[in-house]
């Protein structure tokens, strides 16, 4: 049975939750009080480790372990909250920022406390003016109430949280590009090593965590890592926000425990099946950068590992559903257009390859492809895979290749029938 | 990079090598004479890893890694030419070329282009790209020295990093995103750095070309010499390129002790005088071209007369005026001639200009140290005195002598005709002869002949030696600069044990007492 | 031309948040773009560079990198319509065609009366209420042609 378990969105429908007063009425900032008065920074990290929390931005790296990478040094340390939510199909972090922003601020303070940072920047994509406004209002309120700034709640803990707006570049959601951008530059991803936890903002140790991840920290400290770890399933503990969009009757942002239902149950049951009533054709279960699953591949339990075994990924929690009115070639074109537009242009394979792939796919869409073009498409995408600075090229390659593999006949049908063109060249 | 003297053992393509800890794979591979292809990596610039051609395979690592940003660790096994690596390189090569205009036929970089070299070494020779190439600006002026071609640019950002990280002028930016990315400069389109032309050498492709050298010659028609820039006392190591006995360009040659990989623009462009049409090519006596023997006889007669007319060494009214552009071997011969004559008045003058804290030295001549070492003083000439003879090596600006100097006879070595000379010998530039100079920091370095000045030409050293032979019975000069150096090594303590080959292409440090060479 | 004292004050306030001034560049450029008619002229680029003490082509490079900064003049409003997968699945294609026929503007163009500049944007993060557009800083979700016309015709 698919039903929501609301933790982060528990009070999201209450308009008062945006205010400090409303948030506190529902137990807000109790976790911060508890941590600052009763827990050492190490205990906060240990609690997060116990919870089994994994990053919610897409890669799913264990959060507590990431924090442990921060070296012991006198250098300043920073938290950069990744609120550059830009993966197509993803609109979950916005729910937290616009409907319950204080849990993000509280989580940021807890995280900073845990690994010794005194400044957190919340990097919000520029196209989210409402999120920026909601966070700024919440931060102002929190600062006025001494929940931010010097000697928070009368303790020795000093910490500031700032909103930092981006300006429209998907790549800035990549953690190192986010840092480069935050420093006031073109958002170029950085080569690793060094990793941000060792050398991030201004060459200082920096932890980059997704909005949802940080919001979870608030609830983990409030209710215990043990409690969190019992939600969901092994490897996918806690609850997660999912954005179901596209051709479904009931699209929306939902909060689920993983491992309790299959993808088919979610889409055909909870979300009511396709809007048009036409047969389901495919689902992208983790944002557009992950391989597509065909309608016959949806009987997969919905958790990180199971979806991975099925050849895709939960990614950013964006589930995009499309019915059989959609052509696979057209969908692939849209995806390629997105990633080639968003390629930062820094490294060769992505800069040159993403545009080439886009142009090849447009040729398929125009029914103007030639014999061998499909092999060429697969070969060029193969050569972009694993040869670039960041994962943007793979975010293009994986879905495109999956569309070709899973809907090959549609691509083959787009190959021009007459061979005259090639013969006379 | 601090390595604490630690070393690591690595295996590269089956060859074992020990390198300092902290060495990256590209540099480690050089130790086994393997070139890992690279565009964006340069040992003196920050590592950005954007070209992706240096991908290598490391045993036990699932993905290929870039050689520039991966330091070797003890026991690491690296494959720089495995099937996986070759395939990835082929892919990168193809992608680098899909939007490249392939206009090698009109590109100055052809022949020394890494895109050409690697396409041959690592490409397939075919393109599968069936679309129109990106159109980007061509022939963009970046001021009076550099010309930019955006279509040829592979966005390695070496030029950006050079001006930012090493010159601090940060004058090249990057605009747009994705496949539209292009380099930009300040609004007025002018680069300002006095070292800007280094970006032309750094550019691995033909995107940045020298306005000075553009379209002058295919590099494979040129001959090259490893020599020095003589624009100032720094003595930057260069490769001078000439064609049909005209000097066409200088580019810096690596020398960690002197100029690293760089040279200044002032020095780089300081060569055109070599090609001047009005150079003096044959000796002249009283305004007429004469054979060398006649000129030598006339000069010897003038000197002999002055020598005999003098009442002793202190009174001999002969002035020897050297130039800091002379090689040590010439200075040695000149000093020897003056010794034979008993001349004590020995002068030279140093042209002075702007210096900086990088390479530019305020002494705008290569060998003031040598001139001092061989007994010439950079002190004013006594203009009141009546000189019987002046033997003058004229620098390019005429150099060193007061205009109203009162001299009965003049023996002048000059680039252009000197109308006041009784005997006028052609002067050669440092690009037309072999020799050594003492650069800043007391570094003894070689200049080498990059072009032949005139077929019948006798070098100044030979002229001086033969003059001495005419004055001093039995004196025999040396045939080559190397032999002259050997003679210097016997007579001067500072040169003891030094040989032409021993100095090599990188030079050696001399231990000179300050008194010998001045401040 | 210098910036208004209010803007300079805001920027100075931003500088206090970071160890280096440059980090405030992008946040400040939003404010600057607003004060300078919605786009970055050469003059504005140079002024911004001077305010921050960075080379002007650094500012130009940022304008060229981020979709929300404009290097050419814009209309009185900026309409950003999402064209990415979910919005396309839910009818953004028809909306784009409609804007082109009814208002005569394609991606990046400004209406003849200068009322708005039309920009196709990649995913704007409102996928569960697709298709959507941002008009300046106001969002309009679950659009159809009628709703879109209602918004665009209401622009002054």
Give the tens place of pLDDT for each residue, B212-223: 999 999 999 999
The continuous run of DSSP H or E covering A68 comes out as helix A63-68
Q: Say yes or no: C49 and C101 in one domain.
A: no
pLDDT category at B317 given cuts 50, 70, 90 is confident
Residue C103 lies in a domain: yes
Q: Say yes or no: A204 and A351 in one domain.
A: no
Q: Say yes or no: A174 and A55 in one domain.
A: yes
Residue A168 lies in a domain: yes
- Say if B170 is an interface residue toward chain C (CB within 8 Å): yes
Closest Cβ–Cβ partner in B176, B177, B186 for C57: B186
Nearest chain B Cα distance for residue A172, angstroms: 13
* Per-residue pLDDT at A423: 41
Average pLDDT over residues B225-252: 97
How long, in residues, is chain B?
A: 519
Q: Residue C69 has which token pair?
A: 């900064």
Nearest chain C Cα distance for residue A232, angstroms: 24
Closest Cβ–Cβ partner in C46, C55, C61 for B175: C61
**Last residue within a domain, chosen from C42, C65, C88:** C65
A342 and C122: CB-CB below 8 Å? yes
Q: Does position B312 have pLDDT exceeding 70, yes or no?
A: no
Q: What order do you get walking across the sheet with B223-228 strand by strand?
A: B223-228, B237-243, B246-252
Q: Say yes or no: A359 and A318 in one domain.
A: no
The continuous run of DSSP H or E covering B251 comes out as strand B246-252
Dmax (CA) for chain B in angstroms is 90
- Hey, of C125, C133, C140, which one would you mutate to test binding to chain A, going by the most A CBs within 10 A of its CB? C125
> Residue A99 sits in which domain range?
15-230
Give the tens place of pLDDT for each residue, C93-140: 999 999 999 999 999 999 999 999 999 999 999 999 999 999 999 999
Q: Does position B519 have pLDDT exceeding 80, yes or no?
A: no
Residue C70 lies in a domain: no
pLDDT category at B310 given cuts 50, 70, 90 is low
Q: Does position B313 have pLDDT exceeding 70, yes or no?
A: no
| CATH code for position A288 | 3.10.20.600
Q: Does position B2 have pLDDT exceeding 80, yes or no?
A: no
**Strand pairing category for B77-79 and B318-321:** unpaired
Residue C72 lies in a domain: no
Nearest chain A Cα distance for residue C89, angstroms: 6
The total number of structural domains that make up chain A: 3
Q: Say yes or no: A265 and A312 in one domain.
A: yes
Q: Say yes or no: A170 and A146 in one domain.
A: yes
Q: Say yes or no: A201 and A253 in one domain.
A: no
Residue A2 lies in a domain: no
- Say if A86 is an interface residue toward chain C (CB within 8 Å): yes
Tens digit of pLDDT at every position of chain A (425 positions): 679 999 999 999 999 999 999 999 999 999 999 999 999 999 999 999 999 999 998 888 999 999 999 999 999 999 999 999 999 999 999 999 999 999 999 999 999 999 999 999 999 999 999 999 999 999 999 999 999 999 999 999 999 999 999 999 999 999 999 999 999 999 999 999 999 999 999 999 999 999 999 999 999 999 999 999 999 999 999 999 999 999 999 999 999 999 999 999 999 999 999 999 999 999 999 999 999 999 999 999 999 999 999 999 999 999 999 999 999 999 999 999 999 999 999 999 999 999 999 999 999 999 999 989 999 999 999 999 999 999 999 999 999 999 999 999 999 998 876 444 444 33
Q: Does position B268 have pLDDT exceeding 60, yes or no?
A: yes
- Say if A406 is an interface residue toward chain C (CB within 8 Å): no
Nearest chain B Cα distance for residue A68, angstroms: 23
Q: Say yes or no: C52 and C110 in one domain.
A: no
| CATH code for position C97 | 3.40.30.10
- Say if B184 is an interface residue toward chain C (CB within 8 Å): yes
DSSP track, chain C: -PPPHHHHHHHHHHHTTSSSGGGGHHHHHHHHHHHTTTS--HHHHHHHHHHHTS-HHHHHHHHHH-TTS-SS---SEEEEEE-SHHHHHTTHHHHHHHHHHHH---TT-B-TTSSEEEEEES--S-GGG-S-EEETTEEE-S--HHHHHHHHHT--
Q: Say yes or no: C59 and C82 in one domain.
A: no
Contact list, C58 vs chain B (CB under 8 Å):
170, 173
H helix intervals, B374-459: none
Q: Say yes or no: C95 and C117 in one domain.
A: yes
C60 and B185: CB-CB below 8 Å? no
Token pair 């593999």 is found at A405
Average pLDDT over residues B485-510: 95
Q: Say yes or no: A175 and A303 in one domain.
A: no
Nearest chain C Cα distance for residue A225, angstroms: 31
A345 and B88: CB-CB below 8 Å? no
Q: Which chains touch A (3+ CB pairs under 8 A)?
A: B, C
Residue C71 lies in a domain: no
| CATH code for position A212 | 3.40.50.11540
Q: Say yes or no: C147 and C101 in one domain.
A: yes
Q: Identify the contact set of chain B against chain A, taking CB-CB distances under 8 A.
A: 47-53, 55, 63-64, 66, 69, 87-88, 90-92, 94-96, 98-99, 128-129, 131, 154-155, 174, 176-181
**Last residue within a domain, chosen from A230, A252, A267:** A230
Nearest to B230 by CA among B495, B517, B446: B446
> In chain B, which residue's Cα lies nearest the Cα of C60?
B175
- Say if A346 is an interface residue toward chain C (CB within 8 Å): no
**Cα atoms in the Cβ-side hemisphere of radius 13 Å centred on B125:** 2
Contact list, B187 vs chain C (CB under 8 Å):
42, 45-46, 56-57
* Per-residue pLDDT at B73: 96
d(C-alpha B113, C-alpha B126), whole Å? 18
| CATH code for position A335 | 1.20.1440.230
Nearest to A247 by CA among A152, A331, A147, A133: A331
Q: Say yes or no: A294 and A417 in one domain.
A: no
- pLDDT averaged over every residue in chain B: 94
Burial tier of B31 (Cβ tally within 10 Å: 0-12, 13-18, 19+): middle
Contact list, C61 vs chain B (CB under 8 Å):
173-175, 184
The span from the first CA to the last CA of chain A, in angstroms, equals 60
* Per-residue pLDDT at B1: 47
> In chain B, which residue's Cα lies nearest the Cα of A357?
B129
Residue C118 lies in a domain: yes
pLDDT category at B511 given cuts 50, 70, 90 is confident
**Last residue within a domain, chosen from C13, C37, C65:** C65
| CATH code for position C51 | 1.10.10
B to C CB pairs, distance under 8 Å: 32
**Last residue within a domain, chosen from C14, C35, C65:** C65
pLDDT category at B400 given cuts 50, 70, 90 is low
- Say if A345 is an interface residue toward chain B (CB within 8 Å): yes
The total number of structural domains that make up chain C: 2
> In chain C, which residue's Cα lies nearest the Cα of A161?
C17
Residue A7 lies in a domain: no
A to C CB pairs, distance under 8 Å: 139
- Hey, of A123, A334, A400, which one would you mutate to test binding to chain C, going by the most C CBs within 10 A of its CB? A334
Q: Does position B399 have pLDDT exceeding 80, yes or no?
A: no
Q: What percent of chain B has pLDDT over 70?
A: 96
Q: Say yes or no: A196 and A283 in one domain.
A: no
Residue C112 lies in a domain: yes
Local structure of B258: helix, strand or coil = coil
Q: Say yes or no: C52 and C92 in one domain.
A: no
Q: Say yes or no: A92 and A162 in one domain.
A: yes
Q: Say yes or no: C83 and C52 in one domain.
A: no
Residue C29 lies in a domain: yes
C55 and B173: CB-CB below 8 Å? yes
Residue A9 lies in a domain: no
Q: Does position B311 have pLDDT exceeding 90, yes or no?
A: no
> Residue C107 sits in which domain range?
77-153
Q: Say yes or no: C56 and C91 in one domain.
A: no
Q: Say yes or no: A65 and A163 in one domain.
A: yes
- Hey, of B52, B72, B173, which one would you mutate to test binding to chain A, going by the most A CBs within 10 A of its CB? B52
* Per-residue pLDDT at B398: 63
Residue A113 lies in a domain: yes
Contact (Cβ atoms closer than 8 angstroms) between residue A11 and residue A261: no
**Last residue within a domain, chosen from A293, A308, A323:** A323
Closest Cβ–Cβ partner in B170, B176, B177 for C55: B170
Residue A348 lies in a domain: yes
Q: Say yes or no: C81 and C60 in one domain.
A: no
d(C-alpha A90, C-alpha A243), whole Å? 6
> In chain C, which residue's Cα lies nearest the Cα of B172?
C57
Sign of CA dihedral B335, B338, B339, B340: positive
pLDDT category at B518 given cuts 50, 70, 90 is low
Q: Say yes or no: C81 and C146 in one domain.
A: yes
CB contact set of C50 (below 8 Å; sequence gap of 6+):
none
Q: Say yes or no: C85 and C140 in one domain.
A: yes
Q: Say yes or no: C142 and C83 in one domain.
A: yes
C29 and A326: CB-CB below 8 Å? no
- Say if B175 is an interface residue toward chain C (CB within 8 Å): yes
Q: Say yes or no: A71 and A141 in one domain.
A: yes
pLDDT category at B404 given cuts 50, 70, 90 is confident
Residue C46 lies in a domain: yes
Q: Identify the contact set of chain C against chain A, taking CB-CB distances under 8 A.
A: 17, 19-20, 22-27, 29-30, 52, 54, 58, 61-62, 65-69, 80, 83-86, 88-90, 121-130, 134, 137, 139
Average pLDDT over residues B204-208: 98
CB contact set of A110 (below 8 Å; sequence gap of 6+):
A31, A32, A35, A44, A217, A218, A221
């Amino acid at each position: 049975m698919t039903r929501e378990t609301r933790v982060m969105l528990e009070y999201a429908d209450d308009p008062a939750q945006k205010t400090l007063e409303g948030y506190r009425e529902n137990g807000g900032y109790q976790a911060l009080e508890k941590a600052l008065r009763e827990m050492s920074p190490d205990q906060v990290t240990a609690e997060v480790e116990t919870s089994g929390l994994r990053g919610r931005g897409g890669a799913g790296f264990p959060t507590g372990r990431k924090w442990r990478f921060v070296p012991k040094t006198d250098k300043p340390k920073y938290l950069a909250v990744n609120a550059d939510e830009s993966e197509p199909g993803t609109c979950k972090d916005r729910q937290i920022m616009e409907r319950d922003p204080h849990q993000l601020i509280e989580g940021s303070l807890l995280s900073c406390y845990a690994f010794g940072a005194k400044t957190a920047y919340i990097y919000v994509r520029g196209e989210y003016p409402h999120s920026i406004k909601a966070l700024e209002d919440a931060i102002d309120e929190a600062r006025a109430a001494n929940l931010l700034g010097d000697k928070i709640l009368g303790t020795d803990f000093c910490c500031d949280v700032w909103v930092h707006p981006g300006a429209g570049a998907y790549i800035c959601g990549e953690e190192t590009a986010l840092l480069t951008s935050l420093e006031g530059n073109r958002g170029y991803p950085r080569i690793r090593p060094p990793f941000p936890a060792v050398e991030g903002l201004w060459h200082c140790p920096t932890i980059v965590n997704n909005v949802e991840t940080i919001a979870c920290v608030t609830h983990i400290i409030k209710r215990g890592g043990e409690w969190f770890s019992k939600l969901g399933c092994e490897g996918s503990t806690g609850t997660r926000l999912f954005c179901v969009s596209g051709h479904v009757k009931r699209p929306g942002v939902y909060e689920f425990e993983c491992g309790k239902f299959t993808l088919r149950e979610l889409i055909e049951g909870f979300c009511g099946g396709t809007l048009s009533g036409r047969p389901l054709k495919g689902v992208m279960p983790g944002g557009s950068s992950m391989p597509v699953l065909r309608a016959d591949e949806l009987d997969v339990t919905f958790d990180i590992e199971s979806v991975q075994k099925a050849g895709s990924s939960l990614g950013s929690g964006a589930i995009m559903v499309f019915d059989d009115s959609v052509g696979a070639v057209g969908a692939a074109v849209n995806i390629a257009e997105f990633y080639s537009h968003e390629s930062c242009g820094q490294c060769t394979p992505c800069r040159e390859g993403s545009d080439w792939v886009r142009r090849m796919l447009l040729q398929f869409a125009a029914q103007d492809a030639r014999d061998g073009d499909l092999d060429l498409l697969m070969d060029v995408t193969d050569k972009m895979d694993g040869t670039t600075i960041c994962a943007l090229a793979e975010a293009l390659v994986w879905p495109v290749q999956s569309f070709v593999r899973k809907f090959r006949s549609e691509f083959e049908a787009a190959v021009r029938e007459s061979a005259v063109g090639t013969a006379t060249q | 990079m601090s390595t604490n003297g630690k070393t690591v053992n690595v295996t590269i393509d089956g060859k074992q090598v020990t390198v300092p800890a902290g060495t990256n794979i590209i540099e480690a591979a050089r130790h086994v004479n393997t070139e890992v292809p690279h565009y964006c990596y340069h040992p003196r610039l920050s590592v950005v890893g954007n070209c992706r051609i240096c991908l290598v395979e490391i045993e036990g690592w699932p993905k290929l890694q870039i050689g520039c940003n991966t330091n070797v660790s003890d026991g690491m096994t690296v494959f720089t030419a495995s099937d996986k690596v070759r395939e990835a390189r082929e892919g990168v090569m193809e992608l680098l070329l899909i939007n490249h205009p392939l206009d090698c036929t009109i590109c100055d970089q052809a022949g020394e282009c890494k895109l050409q070299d690697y396409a041959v070494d690592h490409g397939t020779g075919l393109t599968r790209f069936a679309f129109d190439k990106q159109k980007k600006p061509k022939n963009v002026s970046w001021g009076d020295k550099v010309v930019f071609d955006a279509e040829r640019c592979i966005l390695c950002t070496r030029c950006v990093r050079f001006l930012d990280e090493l010159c601090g002028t940060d004058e090249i930016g990057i605009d747009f995103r994705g496949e539209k990315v292009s380099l930009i400069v300040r609004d007025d389109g002018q680069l300002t750095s006095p070292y800007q032309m280094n970006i032309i050498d750094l550019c691995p492709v033909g995107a940045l070309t020298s306005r000075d050298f553009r379209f002058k010659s295919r590099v494979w028609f040129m001959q090259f010499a490893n020599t020095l820039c003589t624009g100032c006392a720094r003595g930057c190591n260069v490769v001078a390129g000439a064609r049909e006995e005209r000097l066409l360009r200088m580019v810096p040659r690596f020398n960690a002790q002197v100029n690293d990989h760089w040279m200044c623009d002032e020095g780089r462009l300081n060569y055109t005088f070599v090609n001047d049409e009005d150079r003096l090519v044959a000796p002249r006596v009283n305004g007429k071209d004469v054979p060398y023997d006649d000129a030598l006889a006339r000069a010897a007669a003038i000197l002999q007369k002055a020598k005999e007319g003098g009442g002793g060494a202190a009174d001999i009214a002969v002035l020897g005026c050297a130039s800091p552009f002379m090689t040590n071997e010439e200075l040695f011969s000149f000093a020897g001639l003056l010794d034979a004559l008993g001349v004590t008045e020995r002068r030279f003058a140093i042209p002075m200009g702007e210096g900086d804290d990088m390479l530019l030295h305020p002494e705008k001549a290569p060998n003031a140290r040598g001139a001092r070492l061989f007994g010439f003083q950079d002190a004013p000439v006594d203009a009141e005195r009546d000189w019987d003879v002046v033997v003058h090596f004229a620098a390019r600006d005429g150099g060193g002598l007061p205009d109203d100097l009162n001299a009965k006879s003049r023996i002048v070595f000059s680039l252009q005709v000197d109308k006041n000379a009784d005997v006028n010998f052609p002067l050669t530039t440092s690009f037309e002869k072999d020799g050594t100079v003492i650069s800043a920091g007391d570094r003894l370095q070689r200049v080498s002949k990059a072009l032949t000045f005139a077929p019948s030409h006798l070098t100044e050293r030979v002229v001086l030696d033969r003059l001495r032979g005419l004055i001093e019975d039995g004196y025999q000069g040396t045939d080559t600069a190397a032999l002259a150096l050997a003679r210097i090594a016997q007579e001067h303590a500072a040169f003891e044990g030094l040989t032409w080959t021993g100095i090599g292409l990188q030079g050696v440090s001399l231990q000179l007492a300050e008194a010998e060479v001045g401040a | 031309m210098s910036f208004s004292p209010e803007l300079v004050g805001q920027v100075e306030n931003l500088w206090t948040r970071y160890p280096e001034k440059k980090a405030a560049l992008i946040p400040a450029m939003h404010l600057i773009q607003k004060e300078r008619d919605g786009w970055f002229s050469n003059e504005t680029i140079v002024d911004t560079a001077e305010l921050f003490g960075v080379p002007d082509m650094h500012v130009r490079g940022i304008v060229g990198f981020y979709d929300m900064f404009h290097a050419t003049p814009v209309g009185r409003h900026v309409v950003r319509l999402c064209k990415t997968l979910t919005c396309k699945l839910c009818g953004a294609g028809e909306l784009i065609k409609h804007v082109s026929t009814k208002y005569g503007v394609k991606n990046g163009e400004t209406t003849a009366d200068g009322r708005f500049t039309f920009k196709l944007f990649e995913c704007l993060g409102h996928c569960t209420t697709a298709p959507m557009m941002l008009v300046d800083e106001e969002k309009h979700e679950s659009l159809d042609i009628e709703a879109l016309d209602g918004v665009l015709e209401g622009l002054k």
